[in-house]
Amino acid sequence: MLDTTEGKFSIDEITEFINLMQLYEGAMYEVSTKLEILDDEFQVRFSHDPIHHMERRLKSIKSIIGKLQRRGLPISIDSVRDNLFDVAGIRVICNYRDDVYSVSNYLSSQSDIQVLRVKDYIKNPKQNGYRSLHVIYAAPVFLSSGEHYMPVEVQFRTIAMDYWASLEHALRYKSDLPDAKLAEHSQTLLDCARSLQNIEVQMQNIHRDINGAPRVEETPHTTA
Ligand code: GTP
Ligand code: MG
């Protein structure tokens, strides 16, 4: 157990934790390289970049412990391994909604990767208007000790969905607003989510007419 009350960690625990983080980082690079390769291939074959940009992050030790504590889970390395699937995270910001489904499906069908969990908040938006496709992959990391499959949470979304989510996130963490103001802004954000969705559909239709990239509209399926 990591002794967080005293703030003391044994050398063995620290070493084990660093090794674990190295595995998460390896899997994160593995998946983001696969995504870059797909993006490059689309550029060559269809003169279209499906990915606008990507963001990657490893959860900090502070957020890892905070999340375990919030969920009433043990604070230990095994507990991180067994319960947290978003220690390694990649956000893939795509140009169009079609790109979200193409890229996520092409990645999901790769033979060395498993799809552990899928949440499609694009087809089923959250009540507040949040839209994104969340997929938890398990990707192999090869070390001298052998092969380790590690989870990576990938959030696929369009530029418009990302634009919306950034403001909604900022509003959620702005705790000094009066309740009435917060409710008013939340309602406006819900209206904005719907407007952005309409604009996206119209722009996507124009793009479909001028670009021949293949279309996959299905949500990826779990494989593990
Ligand atoms: P947590 O990881 O504890 O949040 O639970 P979960 O794994 O069940 O959550 P989910 O897969 O639904 O969402 C995980 C992540 O998606 C969050 O950490 C955020 O980055 C993002 N997210 C989910 N819902 C919202 C939302 O309503 N607004 C914004 N801005 N981001 C969200
Ligand atoms: Mg999560």
Could you tell me the pLDDT band of residue 38, with boundaries at 50, 70 and 90?
very high
Residue 220 lies in a domain: no
pLDDT digits (tens, 9 = 90+) for 73-95: 999 999 999 999 999 999 999 99
Q: How high is the pLDDT of residue 10?
A: 87
From the list 168, 152, 170, the residue with the least C-alpha distance to 160 is: 168
Active site residues: 153
Expressed in angstroms and rounded, the spacing between residue 208 Cα and the centre of ligand 2 is 32
CATH value at residue 175? 3.30.460.10
Instruction: Name residues whose C-beta falls within 8 Å of residue 56's C-beta, 6 or more positions apart in sequence.
Output: 28, 32, 88, 89, 90, 91
Which tokens hold the place of 37? Answer: 């390769």
Number of domains in the chain: 1
Q: Residue 159 is part of which domain span?
A: 11-211
Residue 18 lies in a domain: yes
Residue 223 lies in a domain: no
Expressed in angstroms and rounded, the spacing between residue 112 Cα and the centre of ligand 1 is 26
Residue 48 lies in a domain: yes
Closest atom, ligand 1, to C-alpha of 119: 11
Closest atom, ligand 1, to C-alpha of 129: 27
Rounded alpha-carbon distances, angstroms, from residue 189 to 102, 153, 158, 161, 167: 28, 25, 17, 12, 9
Q: How high is the pLDDT of residue 138?
A: 98
Closest atom, ligand 1, to C-alpha of 86: 2
- What is the Cα–Cα distance from 81 to 101, expressed in whole angstroms? 29
Residue 219 lies in a domain: no
In the three-class reduction of DSSP (H, G, I as helix; E, B as strand; rest coil), residue 130 is classed as: coil
Q: Please choose from 71, 117, 132, 171 the residue to mutate so as to test ligand 1's pocket, defined by most ligand atoms within 8 A of CB.
A: 132
pLDDT digits (tens, 9 = 90+) for 115-169: 999 999 999 999 999 999 999 999 999 999 899 999 999 999 999 999 999 999 9
Residue 119 lies in a domain: yes
Residue 2 lies in a domain: no
Ligand (nearest to CA of 164): 1
Residue 1 lies in a domain: no
pTM: 0.93
